[in-house]
Structure 1
């Protein structure tokens, strides 16, 4: 439905359910309309019309979605040799700037890094003829709207604009009216699929206790026919904790959340796509647009914030006509929130049944074998695990790759312990001289006040300098003259305190 309108150069607002091919809905028109060297050979354009700057710009909300869209466009544009570049944060600037200088046709990026490079005049947007906002409503939720508007002001006035998303709130429509010219709103739905969610996804909701959730999830992950599974949490701490607990129970689990460096996030996603990890625990950064084949189960470990987040979470399964299972574990505190989600989407799951890890109806509904425990049997631990996937050094700004261990400095060395002085390396490594070779310091310690303090400091400095020089020359003992401080001398040779006139 989108291709005829987009190929003709008209503005498009595309709305369809998750997993229905929105990426190629805008990707194929981009690949067809950009001018490359093959068009010169075919006579469709002249060599003067070719440019080294990007001709198409795709703006996405998350880094993971940026890499996925880039890979899809590179695959589709391989025959025409379309140059596609991903620009997003968490990576070093230099490789991205070098790639821009060599010339690109399509740029896919996140708003922050795109705006940074454009302000530094490293990214030239004057040749952009096609603009795409993918998952536009998510950019509004993440607060990217000001950045997106600034990017739009840098683009040429005459351009084609396309917005794509599964949910289209009123703010997106108002954005379209401001920056688009008579857009065609295309909403694609199957005739027999009237609900807001994909009909091929079986949905379940259980009221579960937070202390029993990991045990319940461990049993769900051993259901019959389960292949890859994604577990969604609301907070980064919960995602990291659930991933660690499932790993201890024998599951090949990885985590994707905002506290991880970009290298670790891409490592977990690569391991998940390659099958080395079959359980991906993540926050909502992975709920948008991530397309991995073979995801059969999606588990909402914590109730989503609203119905839009719920739609995008469960949309990671049941993609491209496949079937899937979505399970939501609702805390007692989240029952009112779940009631609003159920009412908005008309799911028919208004009153989740109280469920524990040993409840018989859990085993029956999700096809879990009776007697299944919360620890994966050793015979079923066939996945290579997250450690089998190499972590890539991305040159992350600020050294945000591997977090330093406790007591370890950023440069990889061990820091000073408690009560241990942080001395320079040279001072630590210098060997101590034997006792008999050390020069004997003939230093008179004098307590001075007033005018005599400066002379005493000079005396101590002279004595120490002489001792060091004598030690270097091997001359042994150094005789140091006694330097008498200037001024009045009191009892015992000590300087007398200053008189009242001197104080004034």
Structure 2
């Protein structure tokens, strides 16, 4: 194996790498670092997981010197926020023994902190196109002295429609510069971009997660599964012997959130990364996964850019990816840095045609996925799942509503009413008698005492004068002589009152 010292890397950078247990260089680093250090423009064809960040990052840091002047001297452009965070962390580690400062510039976070770091003199900027252009338009980001430029995952930027933004950014850079471009594939627009903005670049192609040893390190399992049984199958896979960190891919943001809720309810420690989450929440979830606080991460394809974790043992495709490129990107999250991994893909009945195309393109030789259920014996043997494993490892505590027996409901209501002083209470109709009145209320604050015969003496005494003569009519009025007011009668048609009765309003 080639060491970084063999490649001419400065000792302080070697020490920073050694502190993280990184001693030997990967193939892409062996090829790019000797060319990048003297300032050769490079086109590197490699995917995430091959070590390309150090391949372009070490030359950038070393060429800036131990103590570069304040102001932006290097620009690294990436397509997604997650990848910006990942590259920022790697560059920050490479400069840990230098005075060089690195800042990440991307959307979804407040401007203030990023602007403060720029004003403080950060020399290396890692950012996404939109926020870079925004800050440059506001004259808060000066790119006129950025002589070290890296364009990472250029083909992904093409897919996301960032190519016009990239051209705008290059127009802000100095003409004399050292440029490195990295892309997994080289479609026509990327080739044209390289010809336009690079000076005699050398094209380097390195092994990536789709090829050679790394591909051989991944075991691919494909199952035809029922959509209603997938969660149960996944829950059993997560209990397989030797299962470490696991990434589960879903097609939609809604499916990702639904699955993380389901797995957490089953007792697993799962987090999510998808577009409906705030940037802060996505970063917290990713940091928890990297630190091992969560060992399951559910992600959508775009949000998964930047999942650069070496100890992922399993990748599960909850839904089949759209094509072979997306499949390889997903599967490439495992089997990294020479380690082994397992990629499990569920194929719905309606998606068999998609799998046929992927199978043919990647030459897997599995045209017919095996029909699989959570109880299928081959599922347990394929993935080393202990016999008898069920789809739940813990029961999440649930709050249960207290149900009141029907015969006790009235008592409970009475107790609740008694517990609320000052609240008006309505009397219920008794078993008969002229003394029971519907619609009358207790006096304010009167105790809700009920005598054995069902009457309310306290309330009655509060509602009547001391001599006991004061009774209420239906309208709540008392006659002037203390006698009950005459009973009101309805007005008949024509306005005539019945004989012997008092007219309404009399």
Please report the TM-score for the alignment, with normalisation by the length of structure 1: 0.70
Residue 57 in structure 1 maps to residue 87 in structure 2: no
User: SS of the residue aligned with 2:53?
Assistant: helix
Q: Tell me, yes or no, if the aligned pair for 2:102 and 2:122 is still in contact at 8 Å.
A: yes
Structure 1 segment 99-498 matched on structure 2, within 5 A: 99-189=117-207, 195=212, 198-377=215-394
| CA positional deviation for 1:349 | 2.5
User: SS of the residue aligned with 1:230?
Assistant: strand
Q: Which residue of 2 aligns with 1:67?
A: 85
Gap regions ≥5 residues in structure 1? 38-49, 382-504
Larger radius of gyration: 2
Quick one: distance in 2 between partners of 1:36 and 1:100?
Answer: 19
| CA positional deviation for 1:189 | 2.8
| CA positional deviation for 1:312 | 1.5
Quick one: distance in 2 between partners of 1:348 and 1:163?
Answer: 35
1:308-334, Cα deviation, whole Å (9 max, x unpaired):
221111111111111111111111122
| CA positional deviation for 1:11 | 1.2
Residue 22 in structure 1 maps to residue 52 in structure 2: yes
| CA positional deviation for 1:377 | 4.8
Quick one: distance in 1 between partners of 2:359 and 2:256?
Answer: 24
Quick one: distance in 1 between partners of 2:337 and 2:297?
Answer: 20
Root mean square deviation of aligned Cα:
2.0
1:453-472, Cα deviation, whole Å (9 max, x unpaired):
xxxxxxxxxxxxxxxxxxxx
Quick one: distance in 1 between partners of 2:214 and 2:229?
Answer: 28
| CA positional deviation for 1:195 | 4.9
Quick one: distance in 1 between partners of 2:286 and 2:192?
Answer: 35
User: SS of the residue aligned with 1:175?
Assistant: helix
Rate the CA distance shift 1:12–1:199 in 2: closer, same or farther, 3 A. Answer: same
Quick one: distance in 1 between partners of 2:306 and 2:200?
Answer: 27
- Compare 218-227 and 177-186 and name the one that shifted more: 177-186
Residue 79 in structure 1 maps to residue 107 in structure 2: no
Q: Tell me, yes or no, if the aligned pair for 1:271 and 1:277 is still in contact at 8 Å.
A: yes
Quick one: distance in 1 between partners of 2:348 and 2:85?
Answer: 34
Residue 34 in structure 1 maps to residue 52 in structure 2: no
Quick one: distance in 1 between partners of 2:306 and 2:54?
Answer: 12
Quick one: distance in 2 between partners of 1:270 and 1:337?
Answer: 33
Quick one: distance in 2 between partners of 1:82 and 1:342?
Answer: 47
Q: Tell me, yes or no, if the aligned pair for 1:288 and 1:313 is still in contact at 8 Å.
A: no
Residue 6 in structure 1 maps to residue 36 in structure 2: yes
Gap regions ≥5 residues in structure 2? 1-30, 397-506
Quick one: distance in 2 between partners of 1:260 and 1:168?
Answer: 32
- Compare 152-161 and 252-261 and name the one that shifted more: 152-161
Q: Which residue of 2 aligns with 1:95?
A: 113
Poorly superposed stretches of 4+, deviation over 6 Å: none
The alignment of Structure 1 onto Structure 2 pairs a total of residues equal to: 366
Q: Tell me, yes or no, if the aligned pair for 1:287 and 1:316 is still in contact at 8 Å.
A: no
